Amino acid sequence: MAKTLVFLEHHEGAVQKGSLGVLAKAAQIGGEFAGAVVGSEVRAVAESAGGTVWVADDARLAAPLPQPRVDVLAKLVRDEGYDTVLFAQSVLAADIAAGLAARLGAGLNWGLVDFDGETGTAPALQDTVVVDVGWSTPVRIGIFRAGALDAEALTDTADVRDAAVQLEDFSTAAEMVEQAHAEQQGPSIEDAEIIVAGGRGLGEPEKFALAEELARALGGAVAATRAVVDAGWYPYSAQVGQTGKTVSPKLYVALGISGAIQHKVGMQGSNVIVAINKDPNAPIFEYSDLGVVGDLHEIVPRLTELVRSRKS
């Protein structure tokens, strides 16, 4: 039976949804498992998660740098005998997982969508096939794809334990000079449960307001296709698709998106896909759960209105 450690990434006092999803997965697999929260003044964060949670609370861990976190996790694995370390995909998680793999001589599989305690499942060849992946090393490290798992908070009270913080000299050599945040309203598209995405069918940059209003009414985030990002209508951080972000919200509303395969691979994991497009031959209708052929400039404002009135 696996003995699993889950890295709980946190931001502004809350554990990221992706990490909670991985923790829930670890609980579901069975066997012994624990989360790990690493940072400065993060005890409250650790308490907010369920199950056993290791907390490494140290002023030197304030900046979100990977190497000190590798030190903490490597020590936990060695001292407590964890054989599996799981992460939710993020830039920081990728850095830590890679460093940890090197430190422990452990195998690393990424892009996982499932794991049964023994074998992982991951899409391959640009999401055209799903393959089983395994590990040949004693310690297994895995990174789950963003949005692959539902975030279900564990219900029990967290059993918080202190993890020793012993940092290597080379781990403290880097220092955070500046941290910049992209200006953003509402949830990020990777975290959002509802996404309203706009394509070139919107007609002009100003019409993105339609998508934004609908997103606001639904409580979701706005995403964009490559074509409109290329045209400078929307920032790259909102781009969904092969060369943008991969999202899997519960609801994906595609406005004026033709649905080329490059877009499809970035959002095909969505639970429910709704497409509004005036071209009945648009490829997106082939993989939509609900397709509306019509003029989005008429439909969307009325839809937004309807959502608002239902919600109020």
Partner 1 sequence: MSIRPSEYPPPWSTSDAIAAPTDPVEERIDVGFLIVGAGPAGLAAAIRLGQLIEESPATAERLGEVPVAVLEKGKAPGAHLLSGAVVNPRGLQRLFKGRKRIEEMPFYGEVHGESVLFMTKRRAVRIPTPPTMVNHRNYVASVSQLGRWLAEEAEELGVTILPETSAEQLLVDGGRVIGVRTGDRGRGRGGEELGNFEPGSDIAARVTILAEGTQGHLTGAALERFGLRGENPQVWALGVKEVWRVAKPLDQVIHTMGWPLRAAKRYREFGGSFVYPMGDDMVTIGMVVGLDYRDTELSVHDLLQELKTHPRIKRILEGGERVQWGAKTIPEGGFVALPSHFHAPGLLLCGDGVGLVNVPALKGIHYAVESGRLAAEAAWRTLARGESMRSALASYDESLRRSFIWSDLREVRNMRQAFGRGFYVGGALAGAMTASKGRFPPRDAPTERDADQSLIGTDRAASYPAADGKLVFDKLSSVFASGNRTRDDQPNHIRIQEKVPRELAELWAHMCPAQVYEVGEADGDGTVRVKLAPSNCVQCGAITAKGGRLTPPEGGSGPEYTVT
Can you give the binding site for partner 1, defined by CB under 8 A? Answer: 126, 226-227, 229-231, 236, 239, 242-244, 260-262, 265, 281, 283, 286
Provide the β-strand partners of residue 120.
115, 133
CA–CA separation, 269 vs 144, rounded Å?
14
Q: Smallest distance, Å, CB 119 to partner 1? A: 26
Q: Which is nearer to partner 1, 14 or 174 (CB)?
A: 174
Closest by Cα among 178, 11, 21 to 89: 21
Q: Smallest distance, Å, CB 293 to partner 1? A: 17
Asked if 96 and 66 count as a contact pair (C-beta separation under 8 A), the reply is yes
Q: Which is nearer to partner 1, 29 or 261 (CB)?
A: 261
Tell me how many degrees the CA angle 65-70-72 measures, rounded to the nearest 5: 105
Region for 30 from its dihedrals, namely left if φ exceeds 0, alpha if ψ lies in -120 to 50, beta otherwise: left
In angstroms, the first-to-last Cα distance of the chain is 49
Q: Smallest distance, Å, CB 244 to partner 1? A: 7
Q: Smallest distance, Å, CB 265 to partner 1? A: 8
Q: Which is nearer to partner 1, 26 or 223 (CB)?
A: 223
3-state secondary structure of 281: coil
Q: Which is nearer to partner 1, 34 or 227 (CB)?
A: 227
Q: Smallest distance, Å, CB 221 to partner 1? A: 20
Q: Which is nearer to partner 1, 6 or 227 (CB)?
A: 227
